[in-house]
Amino acid sequence: MTNSAKLREESNKYTPGGVHSATRNVEPFHVFTRGEGAYIYDADGNKFIDYQAAFGPYILGHNYPYVNNKVIEALSKTDMYGVGTTDLEIEAARKITTHVPSAEQVLFANSGSEATFHAIRLARGVTGRQKLIKFQGCYHGWHDYVARNMLSSWDKIGKRDPGSAGMLEEAIDNTLVCTFNDLDDVERTFHENKGQIACIILEPIPHNIGIIMPQPGFLEGLRELCDANGALLIFDEVITGFRHNIGGYQKVAGVTPDLTTMGKAMANGFPIAAVAGKKEYMQRFNTQPGGDVWFAGTYNGHAVGTAACIATIEVMENEPVHEHIFRLGDRMRTEIRGIVDRLGIKAYVAGFGSTWTTYFMDFEPKNYTDLQHNDAEFYVTYRKKMIEKGIYKMPMNLKRNHLSYSHTDKEVDITLEAIEAVLKEMTGK
């Protein structure tokens, strides 16, 4: 047996499925032991160029020295206290409010799911309403408020599709599901639930299903519909925040939501998340004396996360992080398009900035329904064959890839060579 296989067997003794998050149990199964820069290594000594990036946190690269050293420095003198605040919390919050347009005030949590939970609860507290709108295919965490109609089977689109056993029926039914890029559908939903909808929550780019870009006017239209109907607009920027711009995708789009959730790339892989928004709403949290919306958490604002957040944003402020990863992303997408064109393969190369994915279909998808035209078997097989060549892309359907500041043209060259070889092998061309 390989070392990974032995360790997997051991892990299964103590943990259901041997993994600690549902989407980690994929084939081929690896036990990873080291990460450095653009590379990850498994227990058998195999080396991979990493484009999975733990679903996106590693915008600078694995074990980035500046961030790690700032965390070590912080932990040499501080940690957490459970009372008052710390200088690290103040500075991390200041940086976020400096850069993110909607962030007049910030509260720290530990995961994206916590942040979206709090944002939705706040929206309900502010409006006194129960219902919310999310979009088919989008992911906003594991909690009952939003865990429905995510990666639905095709026959479940437009139908009631709870994501888990044990969910509250009331939570499922108070979450209304619309089609991304379809303003008419959203407007109709508001009309049918007049005066009942507290908020819209969305990934401004639905990255849970790869990269579906918002069509011109869509985000602006959502802003107008929320204003017209007295609902709050929540951008879930747990993935897009800091990765697509230091101010989030809202800065790129020029559309300012009422509330924003952040995580992942804000601290280059260290555990921290945030909910931010307009001061008039944020002061409803009971961290402010007199606030009536509950917010708490023992580990909120821990030195590990806040120090990493400050350091990560400092690198973005002082170095050409986005210029570098956007250039590599543009090059990757352009050259993959050239490869599939030369080979006559039906494909659409989607992406923005440092992210990309290759859908095996012949048009640009605008929503989750369109993605049923993607050749899922080909998509997953292609990714598995890339892993065999030392290129790690998540071997699941509809998953995005991520570049980091540690990737260089050398890694892109190696990747493009492997892509062409694998596609030639799979198509016999």
Q: Catalytic amino acids?
A: 139, 236, 264
In DSSP terms, which residues pair with 107 in a beta bridge?
Answer: 275
Query: Residues of 67-105 as b/e, b for ≥16 C-beta within 10 angstroms?
Result: bbebbeebeeeeeeeeeeebebbebbbebbbebbbbbeb
| Pairwise CA distance, residues 233 & 222, whole Å | 8
| Pairwise CA distance, residues 368 & 136, whole Å | 6
Phi, psi of 130 (to 5 degrees): -105, -35
- Give me 165's structure tokens: 């056993």
Angle, nearest 10°, between helix axes 409-427 and 321-343? 20
Please tell me what DSSP assigns to residue 37: B
Contact 64, 321 (CB under 8 A): no
Contact 367, 179 (CB under 8 A): yes
| Pairwise CA distance, residues 147 & 255, whole Å | 26
User: What distance, in Å, lies between the first and last C-alpha atoms of the chain?
Assistant: 35
Phi, psi of 158 (to 5 degrees): 80, 5
Q: Would you call 429 helix, strand, or coil by DSSP?
A: coil
